[in-house]
Amino acid sequence: MSSPWERLKKRWRKISETGTLRILWITPLSLAGFLFVWWIFSIIINRAYLPGPYEVFRAFIDSFLTPAPSLGITMGDNIASSLQRFLLGFVLAFCVSVPLGLMMGFFRTAETVAKPVIEVFRPIPPIAWVPVFLLIFKLFWGPVMVIFIGVFFPLLSNVIFGVKSVDPTLIDAARTLGADRLRLFTKVIFPSTVPFLMTGITIGLGIGWMCIVAAEMIGAVGGGVGYYIYFMEQLGKYEYMYAGMVVIAILGILTVGISRYVEQYLSRLMGMK
Amino acid sequence: MTLTIDKLEKRFPKDDEELVAITDFTLEVRDHEFVCVLGPSGCGKTTLLRIVAGLETKTSGSVKIDGVEISGPGSDRGMVFQEFALFPWRTVRKNIEFGLEIKKVPKEKRKAISDKYIELVGLKGFEDSHPYELSGGMKQRVGIARALANDPKILLMDEPFGALDAQTRNMMQKELLRIWAETKKTVLFVTHSVDEAVYLADRIVVMTARPGTIKEIFDITMPRPRDRASVEFASLRKHILAELEREVVRPTPST
Ligand SMILES: Nc1ncnc2c1ncn2[C@@H]1O[C@H](COP(=O)(O)OP(=O)(O)O)[C@@H](O)[C@H]1O
Ligand SMILES: [Mg+2]
């Protein structure tokens, strides 16, 4: 009965209702709008301090092709250094906060003992640790530790929250099936916290990238994107500084995006959506 | 298998005083018997079942399986929950194999056992589905299979069909009777539905409102499958309902 035109219209409506269309249209539009506003501002404000999108794009491409003056390394090298540092800090934070969070969520005494100490350190912004860590841990481990601090707290809170959110009827069910305390932990509590852990990872990744400039600012072994940004500012090569910022944005979007995807997949699997 | 509950009492601390949930509860459940515990909401049915399961401690009295006092949960008692309580990250098969994993049953043997119970509860073809993909009725089939896979002596069921719609509930009741007949398990089944109890039970234990104790026990001798439309079914239901309604309206001393 329905003509091809009708069917096409129906299909169209379905696509626009699901929001896919909105994302497909509006995302490029909003990005284009942002670039336009940027361009206008770059004309109004001194172009040396705020280069336009085109200049930054050119610097972005160039930064990958030619080694930066006085640094002698390309953006690719900087990214590799930052990624290595980031990964180390992240893995370290993961290895400490996950067991600690599980313990603090599970054993009341562990929480009572650790909580006051943690609450003292939590409000200190990661950037405040930079001088201390550089002095104590030097140029390689110092920046790593700054990232560690940034990732540690959101991960820890989410793991603790995850343990406390375990459905008590699942514990009952496991107990009637013969699970002892250890098996309750490994077979019920830990799997239950995985989606919360993923939320913590997503938040931790975001904060970790926010910390990278601070972490690498004063100095870092083998460069780094944060170090690059700081260095280009010192040299007055602002278009390259902005290019470095774009690189961090891209790295952040990619890692957080992947993490959020995994998180949503797991939440769906666990019947939380 | 015999479950012997003798002068069971359970009090919960509540503010300054105590809340008496169950008092002077004495009951013997015999081998292969299907016993329904029927009572108004809040009369202590869940508490009773949790004590038998070993999930809750008793205040006084005794609860014995084959003459042995229970202390904590054990695989000789399987429990089926109203909220299904399936592990959401495990597939149907892995849910059913949970107790076997705990017992360290080797993998091939586990699979053979889970296959048997998947078949028994009619979940063939859904072995690899996750709970979120299943309807309520199917979820409870998994719950029943999971409890049975541990080969318990007695199945404890706490309003297992309470979360299902009427049609699914009736079908599951029929299924449960079939499974019960095939496995020859003893069942202690808690419900607040008179209709459900009359349809399922060999014996119905009617409880009083809180503090919960036994008000009356009915032997249901009607042959199965029972016809809900029959005169006998209707008159029995009416009689028990009248008993129960007196409990619901009965003024309870200090809540
Ligand atoms: N863990 C508990 N702590 C305190 N009171 C409880 C607890 N569990 C149950 N109760 C109380 O005991 C009474 C019986 O509860 P329950 O066994 O769940 O009743 P039913 O399953 O028959 O509806 C209720 O008044 C309830 O509030
Ligand atoms: Mg109940």
pLDDT for residue A273 is more than 60 = no
Which residues have C-beta within 8 Å of that of residue A79, sequence separation ≥ 6? A225, A247, A251
Tell me which residue has tokens 């459905």. A167
Q: Residue A210 — pLDDT band, cuts 50, 70, 90?
A: confident
Q: Which ligand does the CA of B21 lie closest to?
A: 1
pLDDT value, residue A94: 94
Ligand 1 lining (C-beta closer than 6 Å): B 12, 19, 21, 39, 41-47, 210
B229 secondary structure, DSSP code: T
Test A187 with B150 for CB contact under 8 angstroms: no
pLDDT value, residue B253: 57
pLDDT value, residue B6: 97
CATH number for the domain whose boundaries are A51-269: 1.10.3720.10
pLDDT in tens, A151-191: 999 999 999 999 999 999 999 999 999 999 999 999 999 99
Using CA coordinates, name the residue in chain A closest to B82.
Answer: A169
Cα(A216)–Cα(A212) distance, rounded to whole angstroms? Answer: 6
Which residues have C-beta within 8 Å of that of residue B250, sequence separation ≥ 6? B208, B209
Give domain limits for chain A.
1-46, 51-269
To 10 degrees, what angle do helices A75-106 and A238-269 make?
A: 40
pLDDT value, residue B96: 97
pLDDT value, residue A139: 85
Tell me which residue has tokens 């006051």. A116
Residue B61 is encoded by which pair of tokens?
């009295």
What is each CA distance from A268 to A56, A201, A271, B93, in whole angstroms? 40, 17, 5, 19
Nearest CA among A183, A6, A218 for reference residue B102: A183
Q: Residue A271 — pLDDT band, cuts 50, 70, 90?
A: low
pLDDT value, residue B31: 96
pLDDT in tens, B182-238: 999 999 999 999 999 999 999 999 999 888 999 999 999 999 999 999 999 999 999
Cα(A30)–Cα(A13) distance, rounded to whole angstroms? Answer: 22
Report mean pLDDT in 10-residue bins for chain B, 255 residues. Answer: 96 90 96 96 94 96 96 94 95 96 96 96 94 95 97 96 94 96 96 95 94 94 94 95 79 54
Would you state the torsion angle of the CA atoms of residues B124, B125, B128, B129, taken in this order, to the nearest 10 degrees?
Answer: -100
pLDDT value, residue B250: 57
Taking residues A223-229, what's their average pLDDT? Answer: 90
pLDDT value, residue A3: 75
| Among B16, B25, B36, B46, residue to substitute to test ligand 1 (most atoms within 8 Å of Cβ) | B46
pLDDT value, residue A2: 60
pLDDT value, residue B21: 94
Mean pLDDT of chain A: 88
B163 near A CB under 8 A: no
Nearest CA among A127, A70, A94, A172 for reference residue B78: A172
Q: Which ligand does the CA of B47 lie closest to?
A: 1
Which residues have C-beta within 8 Å of that of residue B221, sequence separation ≥ 6? none
pLDDT value, residue A45: 86
Taking residues A97-118, what's their average pLDDT? Answer: 90
